A and B are shown apart, each in its own frame.
Chain A
Amino acid sequence: MSQMKELTKGIFRENPVFIIMLGMCPTLGVSTQVSNALGMGASVIFVLTCSNIFISLCRKIIPDAVRIPCYIVIIASFVTIVEMVLHAFVPAVYDALGVYLPLIVVNCIILGRAEAFAGKNGVVASALDGIGMGIGFTLSLTLIALIREVIGAGTITLFPMGSFSGTITLPGISESPVRVMTLAAGALLLMGYLKAFFAWKGERKA
Chain B
Amino acid sequence: MKHIARIALVLFAISAVCTALCAVVNEVTAPAIAQNTEKTRLEALEAVAAGYTIGKEQEGNGGDIAYVIPLADESGKTAGCILQLSSSGYGGEMTIVASYSLDGTLLGAKLMADSETPGLGKKAEEDWYMAMFQGKGGTEPIPTAKSMLPADLNAQVSGATITFTGVSSALAAGSEYVKGLGGSI
Chain A positions near chain B (C-beta within 8 angstroms): 29, 58, 61-63, 65-66, 69-70, 73-74, 76-77, 80-81, 84-85, 87-89, 91, 98-99
Contact = CB atoms under 8 A, between A and B. Distances in A.
21 contacts: A29-B118, A58-B14, A62-B10, A62-B14, A63-B6, A63-B7, A73-B14, A73-B15, A74-B14, A74-B18, A77-B19, A80-B22, A80-B25, A81-B22, A81-B25, A84-B25, A84-B26, A84-B33, A85-B29, A88-B29, A98-B118
Nearest to B15: A73
Contacts of B7: 63, 65-66
A89 B32 contact: yes
A84 B11 CA distance: 24
Which of B14, B22, B32, B40 lies at the interface centre, i.e. has the most chain A CB atoms within 10 A of its CB? B14
A73 B18 contact: yes
Contacts of B14: 58, 62, 70, 73-74
Contacts of A70: 10-11, 14
Chain B interface size, as a band, is 20 to 34
5 tightest A-B CB contacts, nearest first: A77-B18, A88-B32, A88-B29, A84-B29, A81-B25
B154 interface: no
A89 B25 CA distance: 12
Contact of A91 (B10, B18, B36): B36
Given A29-B118, A91-B36, A69 B11 contact: yes
A53 to B, nearest CB: 13
A99 B118 contact: yes
B157 to A, nearest CB: 19
B155 interface: no
Contacts of A88: 28-30, 32-33, 36
A29 to B, nearest CB: 7
Interface string B19-45: 101100110111011001000100000
Contacts of A62: 10, 14
A38 B129 CA distance: 29
Nearest to A74: B18
Contacts of A89: 29, 32
B21 A81 contact: yes
Nearest to A29: B118
Contacts of B29: 84-85, 87-89
B28 to A, nearest CB: 8
Contacts of B30: 88
Nearest to A69: B11
